[in-house]
Structure 1
Amino acid sequence: MPALWAALIALLGTVARHGRYALIAGLLAGLALPNLAMALRPWLSELVLVLLFLTAFRIGLKQATGGLADLRGSLGLALVYQLALPFGALLLLRLAGWAETAQATALLLMLAAPPVTGGPNLAILTGGPPEPAFRLLILGTALLPLTVMPLLWAAPGLGDAQAAFVAALKLLGAIWITVALAFGLRARTLPRPSARATAALDGLTAIALAVIVVGLMSALRPALAADPLRVLGWLTFALAANLGLQTLTFLIFRHKGAEAIPRAITAGNRNVALFLVALPVTGNEAFLIFLGCYQIPMYLTPILMRPLYATAKRA
């Protein structure tokens, strides 16, 4: 049994070293195995919470909270991401006369969403510290019931504010319970993890990310078969929104060194899927196609953005 356990730890460490390719495998599996994608789709909420548990367990309470200055900075950045950016985008869209388009709806909901649960894992895979991304994830989710309400009142076409508020509170409760359990178990069982144990946890979270994306791609395969040009248009839009925002944010915070990486990743990669449970507008075909396309730049972030993010470590 000890030999088997050691072999498993070594295998997970190998997965961690090549984690970005595991994400590509998940994307390809989501497109190539539609039956598996549909089978995983009902379990996406549970899988996301498993990923969050693994992430919180890997980081631990002490590293997650950081100092008071870290929390203040993260709070201010979360408000910029989830309040200033969507309102700025709404103003520009209205001035341009594009506020009623499907692309405008997708963009506004993307900017209003908190960072994606896998943000800390994406930071690890791109060579950045996961702790700033984790703080932004927790604070952004905690702020969501407050930050999403003004936007829904200003743009009632996005959906019912009360339903979104209730859904955000439920999400917040699930996340805090999951994180508390992970922190407690980490403190009792692995207070000072070795480098091998940390690498094994990174490999396990990479596998979880790959499994989750299979389910998230379930809506994209039928659309690709029916209208590939439409999907290509939405993919171009998703790439521009996600990678463009990552690049801009990284350039703004480049002077912060490696900490610019998680800030940029969380700016472009948002948990848009959470609005599926609250806003009817997200149930239409156009939004579901966007959601599927949005997973592609998200899961390709460790490869597409790695050359740019590598400059932070040399700065």
Structure 2
Amino acid sequence: MIVTVTPNPSLDRTYEVPALDRGEVVRATGERVDPGGKGVNVSRAVAAAGRRTVAVLPLGGAPGALVADLLAAQGIEVAPVPIAGATRSNIALAEADGVLTKINAPGPELSAAERELLLEAVRSQSPGADWIACCGSLPRGLAPSWYAELTARAHAAGARIALDTSGPALLRALRERPDVVKPNAGELAGAVGRPLATVGDAVKAAEELRELGARAVLASLGADGQILVTGEGTWFGEARVDAVRSNVGAGDASLAGFLAAGGAGPGALASAVAHGAAAVRLPGSVMPAPDDLEPSAVTVTAQVPADRALREPAP
């Protein structure tokens, strides 16, 4: 069973448009409404694979009620923490050529009491969890040290932590030795304070995160694949993708695939790559089901192509 924690969830509306012309009336060719937030997406992907998952998240107002209903409809157990503010609503515009424009609202501010209720909700769901996946940005009212506190409490209870966040929240949490962290290339570059131009640069940055406390680093490099850096070894994985429809939630699908496959070693990396590749072929933030996966298109190797230039360098 995988518990996910999403401190700043959202109601996500995705519009598919031929092209985005500023100042013009743009007619959408498709529309989706999904429960959003990185941890929510992980739960959706885990549920799509037929695994049990519990989503812990603060919810408020009409958008929060709709998020809970949408999650329940997908077979996801919800452990809501009622809050006074309304859950944020986000908008994504997906153009036909694969370009995505996102407008993310800041979200509500959590009170001190709501912050403690959220930690207590995680504690109550921890027994029996294979993993606790803590994902996304922190809302107003939660200090950058909040993920570090959650990680420390979870480890004290014997749980394993997967962390997908960035900036000060990531750096603070590394001190508590999360079991795996999952940055993308930009977040990895931000954590080490320098640009990444090659796969080797990304591996070096991941090794530095391990020196700071991460036990394993699963890093998404966009179209350039993914790397897994652990104390047991380093692996590189990639998959053939003929057409990208939307990359919303692809990293979250990757983390779900990694954890569902055990959360360790090259087999779990292959699952992560397969899930991420399947996600970008789907509309909006739709999470892949087993039938969407193409394991034969995935390659994983310990021979990391360190000199390969990244098609999307991280500044």
With the length of structure 2 as denominator, give the TM-score of the two structures: 0.26
With the length of structure 1 as denominator, give the TM-score of the two structures: 0.26
Tell me: higher relative CO, structure 1 or 2? Use CA pairs within 8 A at least 6 residues apart.
1
Higher strand share: 2
